[in-house]
Structure 1
């Protein structure tokens, strides 16, 4: 297996440092002096808080790597979608990042405790609960003084520390690549529903899950006792255990009554985001013949 190329940090006057936002003048000067400007990469998965303006924060790509994102940079799409909610949880600290390979500069986000927990919950990855606990423990340890803030220049000036950091990073990249291969169906399932918000009809859920035919999903839901029909009624309803689990919900709709005239009130079953995630994992595993199981 080929080992990944490790990008060399950009330091000194040749680095293309961009303004740091969300910080006061003193802290911007401090960050520039200690080369806090990231230089690309995919995050190291180590949730070590960095002090910015006196407040501990975690870099977005490090959090993404720890959460198991196949592409850690996708966490920034999640952050942008929830920018308003994150702003309500504290100042947005961002740093422009460049790469020695060139290309368009990116923007790294440094999240405080509440922001990191919020994004972890929104990621809906299998590791989210475990990582939430780890974030709380890391920030608590930092605030107790049990964890010293990371000094980037100290690492860069210590060959042994730098060598250990690079080796650790390489090992984590290789392990992550292997994990991505093993969990590809689950990763693809979560990617398909990453933008899903609110409940969906069965038809909409079938499209989101890329089912070949809508009736295939309906038949599966019926066979697995997610939905049922009352005698003499063509409308599908959710089984109580799926309602209690938050996988399905009912919504009241007013539809034309073509038999008696006027309108009638009906209950329509809908798939919640939690239900969609559950279905994505259930239906995303390839069978032995290479087709998707239903």
Structure 2
């Protein structure tokens, strides 16, 4: 996603002009420009070609994303071929400016409109980065909490590391397809899918009984990989709530 109304340039990639800038330069409503672009692209490339030119614009006032199109020079000039001579001239003049700015990026700083677009671009990028950072924080915190984890852990220890009561973890694992209990048994068992995924393991304990026989108990153990997944399911904010 890109957030600005200025052309996009990445290395040797061609310049593009957004439908927002076309609307601004021609004085047309953006929804009308979007309609014209859509009709043109369908005629040129069919419905399947639309995603190749689609993008989104983040409004810095409300933080909402809105669809836009970004057109290379060929498609842009085809679009405005149906507009008046005056409007076509504005777009052609703008393309000449874009090509000059591509050769000399500092040239844009002398144009108040271009400078305003650059400033808006930076503001919107900051907004987008802040939103991405907020989304990544729970995962980063979860990984930090198990960064030093080694070996496997019983569920009581895993629950302590997650900052939740052991019974909460055990109940969650039973209701979310991690463990189950056979009728008549007192021990939980891990689903084979979770063992194969490397999230859980079984530890079998044995010991002698007074009558000389041997008892056997199966314990579910949580691996570091499993703890990583559980830490994301129980972020600190959710635990505190």
Q: Please identify the structure whose Cα radius of gyration is greater.
A: 2
- Compare the two structures and name the one with the higher helix fraction: 2
TM-score category by the smaller chain?
0.3 to 0.5
TM-score, scaled relative to structure 2: 0.43
TM-score, scaled relative to structure 1: 0.35
